[in-house]
Structure 1
Amino acid sequence: MTEKPTLSIGLIGSGFMGKAHVFGFATAQKVFDLPMQINLHTLADINDEAAARAAQEFGFANATSNWRDMLTNPDIDVIDITAPNALHKEMALEAIAAGKHVYCEKPLAPLAKDAAEMAEAAEAAGLKTQVGFNYLCNPMMQLAKEMIEGGELGEIRSYRGLHAEDYMAHSDDPYTFRHDPAGGGALADLGSHALATAEYLLGPIVKVMGDCVTVISERPDGKGGRRSIEVDDIGRAFLRFENGASGSIEGNWIATGRKMQHDFEIHGSKGALFFSQERFNELHFYSNEDASGRRGFRRIEAAPDHPPYGNFCVAPGHQVGFNDLKAIEVAGYVRAIALEGPEPFSFRKGLRIQHLVENIQMSSASENWVDV
């Protein structure tokens, strides 16, 4: 039996998303027959103590407080960036210059021009990239796409998308990196997921009308004072799709009571779909072809019939979880590095989302429709 080549990971950051990436790596190589063996090589964090503690907890062989140490290490193949948004560009470009593949959480970069520079650098170097949009890896999301493309909804007429959480709902919560104008705002942070889902399901958006609103105008700065907020707490947009459908999306991080509402509703001439991330092992389908008096949304539960659910569980209705979606994302990325398939969501696709975000922000500022 031929021994698989090793793919060594250098992770920057051990917070929420850093931990999710580690779970993704660990699970992916247990439930998928990957072409490469994943090695958790080095973890970088804010200082030596934090890095050493996280490395031990997550199973990395090495730790460092200087992420650049990983760039000069020939044993590391992938730099995985889960640092604050404003740092993504610098870290990614230096990693690419060092010949490393790069896995980066969204948003890819504060500005579309920065994301373009990152995408072009990776493509010129022939390196594989991945942006963290793991909600698209849900088997139910893939089923919805298949049903739309298979004509089960008929002509698509309208779309509603929403990503709402409440982690910024309290005005006394402190200023964070997400409030930095160089990489923050609800539209960029959450609306980016809503936009990625909309285009994944319905295809290109060609026209937008935005409305970005700052509700909480200042927050504690952590030093006893207050700091003005310039980014949006709610970002909304009306959309026109290339296929003729119209719709809307919203990114909202002050939606009191909502912890993970990533929803969409799609209406077609023959039927409709509804999905909510709060119950993301379900897809609801309405068909006009049902008999009169028997019509209504019916629930489709995730099952081994919806790949790759069966890799995780042989029984329907037992459900996959958030970190399992990361594992599916990791598996696709590893196969891309091994030249066994395309990048699931490359820097070029991440650039596309940032381009949409900026067009919506521009539309909001001008109070006009903008052609994408």
Structure 2
Amino acid sequence: MPGESKKNQSLHMVMITAFFLPKIGGSEKQLFTLARALHKQGIAITIITRQYDPILMNHEHVNGIEILRFSFMNMPMMDLITFNLKLFFWLIKHRNVYTVIYANLASSHAVTAALIGLCCKKKVFIKLGGSGRYGDLMTSRHSLLGKIKINLLRNSTARYIAVSSEIVEELRAYKFPEQSISLIPNGVNSELFYPISDQKKKEIRTRLDLVHDAILFIFAGRFDLSKNIITMLIAWHKLGDQKNHMKLLIIGEGPLEQNIRQVITTKQLQNSIVLKPFQDNIQEYFQASDSMIALSVSEGLSNTILEGMACGLPVIGSRARGIEEIITDGYNGFTVDPDKITRVTETIRKLGSDKHLRKKMSEKASQTIKEHYRIDHTVQRILPLISS
């Protein structure tokens, strides 16, 4: 609204993230979506990140958003120390320019942000994106430095943005002050991610060189242990001859890529699985697909699942808490125990063979996002916190 935008023009938010364009994953993608949405509301945005490649510009503007990249020593521990020292002194030097600090994930830069909040009396928000054994808190408790980090954050004046109720519970379990915790789910850009007609789907499949005569399942994400991709491949193999009318499109990159390729070869799945690296136009791959599979061991509030559902994809998801908060079993998708591989296979078979069920769940999936997980919903929740 024009009035709101004018009121927000005095706000300047510094957003800090370890990685950013062009190296962008789920949390960074959500950060950029939020940054653009807040910028539309009249808030000045500066994103500070690491210059992990010397060919990247150390200062540029993208869509009206300022991006600063700080160089660092590419050595264990020294990378964190040098980046955070530069970040600390920049935040001190420019303390009269910005009004709010937003740290993406509870990494080392979140401690720097919290310290600046104390000494410069700035509002600091730290977003936690993951829960469970691969989450922000669990991964920190196994080392001395991690425990020190948690203690420093817990005793700071920062506020914590949790994207799921499980993260809220973890923050409480770690004795973070109740008044410092806000539940604000991730949001989807509905102008980019939306359902399309069957005819348009055929056109996109032709352009992307995807199959026309098969039910297309999609997985998109980083190739690491937390995503449970090998389990998905084993379940897919158990489909037997039914794979003949179904295809699995796997999009991503990561440390397990060779393992994934080996399983595909060993199980002779080359004819039913297509492997692609991360795609800038991921929304078109979602729109070209019929269903999604996401068997993560743990999950905060998956951007990929939200984006897929926004495009009308019913999801077969694991029973990770963050996934169960989005998917209602039998309504807009299915939740399964990944350890029960036969059950996973049966669910893929059921969704792949029932066109009426897919259509019904597709409508419910996109409706779920429209009603609860649009980026403007996220902005409406965060604006009162940063402007009060």
Shorter-chain TM-score range: 0.3 to 0.5
Q: Which has the higher strand share?
A: 1
